[in-house]
A and B are shown apart, each in its own frame.
Chain A
Amino acid sequence: MSDMSYVRSEMLPERAPPASQIGFVGWIRANLFNGVGNSILTILSLIFLWYILSALLPWIFAPTWNSGSLNECREIFGADGGHGAACWGVIRERWVQLLFGFYPEAERWRPIVGFGLLFVALIPVLFNMISRRMNWVLLLVVLGLAGLYLGGALGIIAGLVLLGAAGFVGFKAFTTSKEDRAAEIASGAKRLPNPFIFSAIYPFIAPWLLWGGSIWLPVGAALGFVVGYFAYRFLAPIVGSLAGLIIAVLAALVWWLFLTGGFASIMQSIIPIGLEAVESRNFGGFMLSITIGVVAIACSLPIGVVLALGRQSDLLIVKALCVGFIEFIRGVPLITLLFVASTLLNIFLPPGTNFDIILRVLIMVTLFAAAYMAEVVRGGLAALPKGQYEAADALGLDYWKAQRLIIMPQALKISIPGIVSTFIGVFKDTVLVSIIGLLDPLGLSNAIRADQDWNGVVWELYGFIAFMFFVFCFSMSRYSMYLERRLRTDHS
């Protein structure tokens, strides 16, 4: 019986799957036509796609890029009347305006450099895997390109020097491996300064670049922190840390409110360095949207953290005030807050105060973002395991130390995706300022249509604006998803 085997004793070679299961056909069968319902859905989707694209594509690919007015477009299309195709001349003529508003042409490098530096400043915060030296390479490249863009002998020399430095540092970074570098540092080689320094300086550089004026004003503002810091260092040992802290904050406030202006004007008369001042009403287009979005988020972050802590706190009155503020702001539409900015804020402030409208909008949008930010941070705080709080207590840290060293770094890290999506929301909401007469992209589109040449252009402008917003927001939301994935792997 032993030679009779019913079970195959050797394996058959693997055979290729049938043609209907692999390759293109197999993919189509598996993904598009697996079952009656799915087939119907696929066909419906294809019909829908065809319908949309057959209407859209001929409209988009219209040879109207060089037309100078809507009437010229109409001539190009003859009897069709221009309804069948886009009139892209308006974008060619106005895209710069849609991006920069009325910012003086000669000064446009400033917002470009400002936003370029923003990314450099954010890199140590957002992509902490990039090495310190690569950060400096990026910073030097942005500055160098700015120098070249400015032109002039000085600008070109400075630009080339900066780019050269960038190249040098980059070359070094690429040629030395991580381990070698670590060994160098261990043996006492000098490290480059922490790029986070630049992130800390950036909030002072950016307004100066955008608004211009004397450099001593942002320097004065930055000095306020120095004043506060030294006041704390000297006073804390004498009067105790809490009183020292309070006095330091007061000292900084006094410096900002009463002394900065004098300091700036004196320094300006001694060493005049400054950029041409640009009034904020010249801001417009996407530059305005981005400025409002970035300033609002940057300013709302600290306010939001304070509000979130207040909402979590055991102090009843503080909690009630924070909850009241957050729920009030979140309960009303942004447009009513913008109405406040445009019609009421000057009434609430002391007689004679007159901020310009963009500043008032910045204030209200910041408050708006702060309430949402507070909820994001609160989510981050709530997501922290209770053990972290208990561990901080067990170490004997007091409230502020625990917050500063244990809780906040983790809570903020968890909240970054939320912060990014709040930013996307605020950035999208900036189009609402067109309703109160600011010339953001949507407001500008109305102004452009008031030009005799372009009266009647609708789709091209909306399409362009929507496309730009999509590009900005989509890339940010992808980035936030990437972050979310990274953060998740960190925790599991």
Chain B
Amino acid sequence: MTTTTDPHQGQFRLSMLLYDSRYRSMTIQIVALIGFLMLIGWLLSNTAQNLADLGKEPGFSFMLEPSGYDINQRLLDYNSQDSHLRASLMGLLNTLLVAAMGCIAATVIGVIIGVLRLSPNWIVARLSAVYVEGFRNVPVLLWIVFIMAVLIETLPQPSAFRKGEASMSLWDTVAITNRGVYIPEPLFSRSLGDIHVLGSSALRFDVSLDLLALLAVLIAGILTSVLIKRRADVIQEATGERPRTWHLRLGAIVVPFILVLAVLGFYLGYPELKGFNFKGGTHLRNSLIALWLALSLYTGAFIAEIVRSGILAVSKGQTEAASALGMRPNRTMSLVVLPQALRVIIPPLISNYLNLTKNSSLAIAVGYMDITGTLGGITMNQTGRELETVLLLMLVYLTISLTISAVMNWYNESVKLKER
């Protein structure tokens, strides 16, 4: 194929399409493209024919009809009269929530266990190995239902609190029940109210002015602090002496923030047992907790292995060279070992984040209402629109996955070894 004979100057013959390397790649590509288009066309015509036989008309207008079902964990306001579209949005937000929480927790667990596996302490290293092998070799779906069952069976039910058999933890601020964990929620007695964005459409959401105010103050504080630092830098450049500024910088951030909190009348709403359930506070449902724990423990086991091999991949000479330069061990770790290990760690870490996000679709096993539970579950079921819902579902996951890998790849590029 790579032989370079003199180009044949003669007439074009049909067989050259196959045997002339100048044309062959074009032929193959066109054949592949035609084959692909034919396959797509064949699938589409089958689908159209089958749908016509079933008497179904494909279309997405059902997404705007009232859903009719309730969702327990909603990050925005929603009731059963809202559309399927809004129900799906609730599901999407729940997916993103558990995926984000899972990624963070899995990273923390993975790093700790990965380091512990290299510990000289025999029992700790063995226990970490048992954890890693145990979680890696059992399907995550089993872990999800398993952890859910543990939460349900071992934690006290709310009525136990009433009877005095169980009590709230952390000075009566947190209630751990088998329906979930209730933690204090931040509230404002002189709240500024909310802005309603997008009116009453399916994508409407509220923005809390309190939160905006706090954010604004926080950002302003940080900016001020940066300014103070710059000034200190300038003074240091000019005089060689650096003024003490840490108290100023801290104050610039903290004081206005606390002031605004006080103005808004900040207080914590504690959960209280009322009727059948705890009321008040933020309710972390045990479906969320089970899913979150299972996903992060499962993925954490994989990340632990990645971290371990990443650290082992940095050759010992690097550490020795660093100490020969007179660096202290923790500086060696942060300046020499970790940056190099990270380069090995990050690509597999990205794919584990992706796996975790995709695995969060197993939420339906414990009734966590993620996008698979709402759009791919109840909506599909109640409307009988399998084609449309599954396509939408795939599209949503595809978008999430591609976004995560794009962001992570960008980060990976930025820490990559620059070769010149």
Instruction: Consider the complex of A and B and state whether they touch directly, i.e. have CB atoms less than 8 Å apart.
Output: yes
Cα–Cα distance between A267 and B402 once the two chains are bound (Å): 52
Q: State how many angstroms separate the Cβ of B398 from the closest Cβ of chain A.
A: 4
Cα–Cα distance between A472 and B136 once the two chains are bound (Å): 12
Do B398 and A332 touch (CB < 8 A)? yes
Given the interface contacts A314-B25, A469-B137, does A45 sit within 8 Å of B386 by beta carbon? no
Which of B3, B120, B387 is in CB contact (< 8 Å) with A31? B120
Do B36 and A321 touch (CB < 8 A)? yes
B362 is an interface residue with CB less than 8 A from chain A: yes
Cα–Cα distance between A348 and B386 once the two chains are bound (Å): 12
Report A-chain residues with C-beta under 8 Å of the C-beta of B3: 396
Per-position 1/0 for B39-70, Cβ under 8 A of A:
00001001101110100000000000000000
Do B47 and A348 touch (CB < 8 A)? yes
Stretch from A123-131, A165-173, A339-347 at the B interface: A339-347
Which of B1, B47, B138, B361 is in CB contact (< 8 Å) with A333? B361
A residues 254-280 in Cβ contact with B at 8 Å: none
- For the complex, count residues of B whose C-beta is within 8 A of A: 58
Cα–Cα distance between A331 and B402 once the two chains are bound (Å): 7
Given the interface contacts A330-B401, A347-B50, does A469 sit within 8 Å of B18 by beta carbon? no
Per-position 1/0 for A323-334, Cβ under 8 A of B:
000011011111
Report A-chain residues with C-beta under 8 Å of the C-beta of B121: 31-32, 34, 38, 41-42, 45
Report A-chain residues with C-beta under 8 Å of the C-beta of B28: 315, 318
Given the interface contacts A351-B46, A462-B146, A474-B137, does A331 sit within 8 Å of B397 by beta carbon? yes
Which residue of chain B has its CB nearest to the CB of A473? B137
**A46, A331, A340, A399: which has the most chain B beta carbons within 10 Å?**
A331
- For the complex, count residues of A whose C-beta is within 8 A of B: 61
Report A-chain residues with C-beta under 8 Å of the C-beta of B127: 45, 48-49
B202 is an interface residue with CB less than 8 A from chain A: no
Per-position 1/0 for B115-127, Cβ under 8 A of A:
0000111111001
Per-position 1/0 for A14-54, Cβ under 8 A of B:
00000000000000000110100010011001101100000
Per-position 1/0 for A416-455, Cβ under 8 A of B:
0000000010001101101100000010000000000000
Do A335 and B137 touch (CB < 8 A)? no
B residues 369-391 in Cβ contact with A at 8 Å: 372, 376, 380, 386-387, 390
A193 is an interface residue with CB less than 8 A from chain B: no
B29 is an interface residue with CB less than 8 A from chain A: yes
Cα–Cα distance between A35 and B145 once the two chains are bound (Å): 40
Do A465 and B120 touch (CB < 8 A)? no
Cα–Cα distance between A242 and B386 once the two chains are bound (Å): 44
Report B-chain residues with C-beta under 8 Å of the C-beta of A49: 127
Q: State how many angstroms separate the Cβ of A218 from the closest Cβ of chain B.
A: 27
Which residue of chain A has its CB nearest to the CB of B149? A458
Which of B1, B136, B365, B393 is in CB contact (< 8 Å) with A336? B393
Which residue of chain A has its CB nearest to the CB of B36? A321
Do B364 and A435 touch (CB < 8 A)? yes
B residues 299-336 in Cβ contact with A at 8 Å: none
Report B-chain residues with C-beta under 8 Å of the C-beta of A398: 1
Per-position 1/0 for B391-419, Cβ under 8 A of A:
00110011001100000000000000000
Which residue of chain B has its CB nearest to the CB of A346? B50
**B127, B149, B354: which has the most chain A beta carbons within 10 Å?**
B127
Report A-chain residues with C-beta under 8 Å of the C-beta of B361: 333, 335-336
Which residue of chain B has its CB nearest to the CB of A476? B137
Do B142 and A469 touch (CB < 8 A)? yes
A355 is an interface residue with CB less than 8 A from chain B: no
Do A41 and B124 touch (CB < 8 A)? yes
B134 is an interface residue with CB less than 8 A from chain A: yes
Report A-chain residues with C-beta under 8 Å of the C-beta of B47: 347-348
Report B-chain residues with C-beta under 8 Å of the C-beta of A470: 134, 137-138
Which of A335, A424, A466 is in CB contact (< 8 Å) with B146? A466
Q: State how many angstroms separate the Cβ of A38 from the closest Cβ of chain B.
A: 5
Given the interface contacts A336-B390, A349-B46, A458-B149, does A318 sit within 8 Å of B2 by beta carbon? no
Report A-chain residues with C-beta under 8 Å of the C-beta of B380: 339, 343
Do B43 and A348 touch (CB < 8 A)? yes
Do B32 and A32 touch (CB < 8 A)? no
Q: State how many angstroms separate the Cβ of A315 from the closest Cβ of chain B.
A: 5
B33 is an interface residue with CB less than 8 A from chain A: yes
B229 is an interface residue with CB less than 8 A from chain A: no
A residues 347-374 in Cβ contact with B at 8 Å: 347-351
Do B390 and A343 touch (CB < 8 A)? yes
Which residue of chain A has its CB nearest to the CB of B393? A336
A317 is an interface residue with CB less than 8 A from chain B: yes
**B2, B46, B51, B121: which has the most chain A beta carbons within 10 Å?**
B121
B276 is an interface residue with CB less than 8 A from chain A: no
Cα–Cα distance between A465 and B136 once the two chains are bound (Å): 15
Cα–Cα distance between A428 and B301 once the two chains are bound (Å): 15
B159 is an interface residue with CB less than 8 A from chain A: no
B241 is an interface residue with CB less than 8 A from chain A: no
Cα–Cα distance between A434 and B50 once the two chains are bound (Å): 27
Report B-chain residues with C-beta under 8 Å of the C-beta of A38: 119-121, 124
Report B-chain residues with C-beta under 8 Å of the C-beta of A332: 358, 394, 397-398, 401
B172 is an interface residue with CB less than 8 A from chain A: no
Report A-chain residues with C-beta under 8 Å of the C-beta of B29: 315-318
Cα–Cα distance between A260 and B267 once the two chains are bound (Å): 78
Report A-chain residues with C-beta under 8 Å of the C-beta of B46: 347-351
Q: State how many angstroms separate the Cβ of B129 from the closest Cβ of chain A.
A: 11
A152 is an interface residue with CB less than 8 A from chain B: no
Cα–Cα distance between A465 and B146 once the two chains are bound (Å): 11
B174 is an interface residue with CB less than 8 A from chain A: no
A282 is an interface residue with CB less than 8 A from chain B: no
Do A442 and B51 touch (CB < 8 A)? no
New contact pairs (19) apart from A42-B123, A315-B25, A466-B146, CB-CB < 8 Å: A31-B121, A31-B122, A32-B121, A38-B124, A49-B127, A318-B28, A321-B36, A331-B397, A332-B401, A343-B386, A343-B390, A350-B46, A393-B2, A428-B137, A432-B141, A434-B141, A435-B362, A469-B142, A477-B137
CB pairs A–B below 8 angstroms (29 shown): A31-B123, A34-B121, A38-B119, A38-B121, A41-B119, A42-B123, A46-B123, A318-B28, A318-B32, A333-B359, A334-B358, A335-B361, A335-B362, A335-B376, A339-B386, A344-B387, A347-B387, A348-B46, A348-B50, A398-B1, A424-B137, A431-B139, A432-B362, A435-B362, A442-B141, A462-B142, A462-B146, A469-B138, A477-B133
List residues of chain A with CB under 8 Å of any chain B CB. 31-32, 34, 38, 41-42, 45-46, 48-49, 240, 242-243, 314-318, 321, 327-328, 330-336, 339-340, 343-344, 346-351, 393, 396, 398-399, 424, 428-429, 431-432, 434-435, 442, 458-459, 462, 465-466, 469-470, 472-474, 477
Closest 8 CB pairs of A and B: A473-B137, A31-B122, A331-B401, A333-B358, A343-B386, A333-B361, A428-B139, A317-B29
